[in-house]
């Protein structure tokens, strides 16, 4: 059997139900591994060991008695530390909230808990999902298990690192401009930004209300589908939540994609944007895989990444500044330097700038979604260029308003977008791609990602990790 800490959610669930594995056994394996190696990765801000064992014992008792709460029953998972947890510290990786103990769980956490999940702890992130890797906060930034010298793009950094390192089976992240998909791509795993309004954000500390998405991350697309099955659904308490029926993602992930029409957005990574030649080759090979699965793939022309970025910046800067203005004025010293530098230009955004950007967003989204009159899915890169090197001495910088982002456009359109591994660089570092679909066709996106994983062998390759040392396989 696969090492316990490398079991997928689906595999662990099957073993539970065949009574060949206990949730207590799996949870203990994860806790032991966290204790052995996380000092060198820093993926957790807080480990809830006692609670995890208690929840694991409860899940074992229920499963042995024939009570099945669903696909996350007895599964050890983590939460990006923006998800509020009743009685458990929630910090947003900021000194400002170092002693913040919420009274209620975020809606997604309530669903995971009701589904019998086992909470291992809270994951590191970029401060308030915006500040970049901060070295002046009470906890160090998370490092990439594939190569600790390469920076993990945010902001769900700890979640991506923990899954890749075998320190949890899955995690809930958040995504405002790529914060689930970027770390998923750079850690060689799967991460879904669901359709806007598909997963409740109640109890998830905000970045930009207009673009914030909550979603699952895991080693495989199938596992992402199983997690989405548990957390998806309408929440009247979230003004952005949309009352749409929840598909059967757990079963739909195995749907054939033969006959699907895929629009390739090549210009974003091999034209307007540039990525490594090896990544371009990997994406060409991914196109060949989809064609072998019976899909048609044709290049399409969509709005430029620069248009989406120029539209997003005034909305993001004004909304995140509004969210934290009170504390910025009262306790500026409790924020990291990187966060302060990035957020302060928000004070210069006028109301009219925000209004014009919101209207422009609608125009861009209509232009983008019009392509679904003749395609079913979109395909593009998951990341552009080489990940930057880790540099604890780097000076803080303002928000980058010039470099294009291959993930940001899908936040403005609200489409479901999935990041997954499509290959490796010569040095063994993962290459990621994205699959996007029509709003609320999360099931179609997941089915395409799962079909690709089943047709390739990239899921068999893991980073090799020993205490205080990380190297690629």
Catalytic residues: 80, 155, 179
Q: Which residues contact 235 (CB under 8 A, 6 or more apart)?
A: 107, 200, 202, 241
- C-beta of residue 413 within 8 angstroms of C-beta of residue 368: yes
- Angle at the Cα of 126 (from 123 to 132), degrees rounded to 5? 155
Q: Which residues contact 395 (CB under 8 A, 6 or more apart)?
A: none
The label of the residue with tokens 């974003």 reads 268
Which of 117, 82, 113 lies closest to 100 in space, CA to CA?
A: 82
- Burial group, residue 393, by CB count within 10 angstroms (0-12, 13-18, 19+): exposed
Tokens, residue 320: 């995140």
DSSP string of 336-397, one letter each residue: -HHHHHHHGGGGG--HHHHHHHHHHHHHHHHHHHGGGGT-SEEEEES--SPPPBP-TTPPP-
Tokens, residue 20: 């060949």
Give the span between the Cα atoms of 338 and 331, in whole angstroms: 15
Give the start-end residues of each E strand in 146-222: 170-175, 190-193, 213-218
- C-beta of residue 181 within 8 angstroms of C-beta of residue 175: yes
Give the span between the Cα atoms of 31 and 48, in whole angstroms: 9
């Amino acid at each position: 059997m696969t090492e316990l800490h490398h079991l997928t959610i689906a595999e662990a669930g099957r073993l539970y139900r065949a009574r060949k594995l206990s949730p207590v056994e799996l949870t203990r394996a994860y806790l032991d591994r966290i204790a052995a190696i996380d000092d060198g990765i820093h993926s957790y801000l807080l480990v809830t060991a006692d609670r995890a064992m208690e929840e694991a014992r409860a899940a074992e008792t229920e499963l042995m008695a024939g009570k099945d709460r669903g696909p996350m029953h007895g599964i050890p998972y983590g939460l990006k530390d923006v998800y509020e947890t009743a009685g458990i510290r929630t910090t947003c990786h900021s000194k400002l909230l170092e002693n913040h103990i919420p009274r209620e769980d975020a809606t997604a956490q309530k669903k995971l808990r009701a589904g019998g999940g086992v909470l291992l702890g809270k994951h590191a992130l970029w401060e308030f999902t915006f500040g970049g890797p901060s070295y002046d906060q009470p906890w160090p930034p998370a490092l990439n298990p594939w190569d600790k010298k390469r920076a993990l793009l945010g902001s769900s950094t700890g979640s991506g690192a923990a899954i890749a390192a075998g320190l949890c089976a899955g995690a809930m992240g958040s995504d405002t401009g790529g914060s689930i998909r970027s770390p998923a791509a750079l850690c060689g795993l799967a991460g879904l930004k669901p359709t806007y309004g598909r997963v409740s954000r109640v109890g998830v500390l905000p970045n930009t209300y207009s673009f914030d998405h909550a979603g699952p991350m895991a080693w495989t697309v199938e596992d992402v589908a199983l997690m989405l099955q548990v957390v998806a659904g309408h929440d009247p308490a979230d003004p952005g939540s949309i009352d749409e029926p929840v598909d059967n993602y757990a079963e739909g992930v195995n749907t054939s994609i033969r006959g699907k029409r895929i629009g390739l957005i090549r210009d974003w990574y091999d034209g307007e944007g540039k990525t490594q030649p090896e990544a371009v080759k990997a994406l060409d090979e991914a196109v060949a895989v989809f064609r072998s699965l019976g899909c048609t793939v044709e290049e399409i022309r969509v709005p430029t990444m620069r248009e989406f970025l120029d539209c997003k910046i005034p909305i993001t800067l004004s909304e995140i500044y509004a969210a934290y203005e009170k504390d910025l004025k009262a306790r500026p010293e409790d924020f990291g330097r990187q966060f302060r530098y990035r957020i302060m230009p928000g004070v210069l955004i006028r109301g009219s700038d925000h209004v014009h950007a919101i209207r422009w967003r609608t125009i861009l989204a209509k232009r983008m979604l019009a392509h679904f009159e003749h395609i079913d899915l979109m395909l593009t890169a998951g990341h552009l260029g080489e990940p930057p090197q880790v540099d604890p001495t780097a000076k803080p910088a303002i928000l980058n308003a010039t470099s294009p982002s291959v993930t940001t456009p899908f936040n403005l359109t609200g489409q479901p977008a999935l990041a997954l591994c499509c290959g490796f660089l010569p040095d063994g570092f993962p290459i990621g791609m994205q699959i996007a679909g029509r709003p609320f066709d999360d099931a179609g996106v997941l089915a395409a990602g799962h079909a690709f994983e089943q047709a390739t062998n990239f899921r068999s390759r893991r980073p090799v990790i020993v205490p205080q040392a990380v190297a690629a396989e």
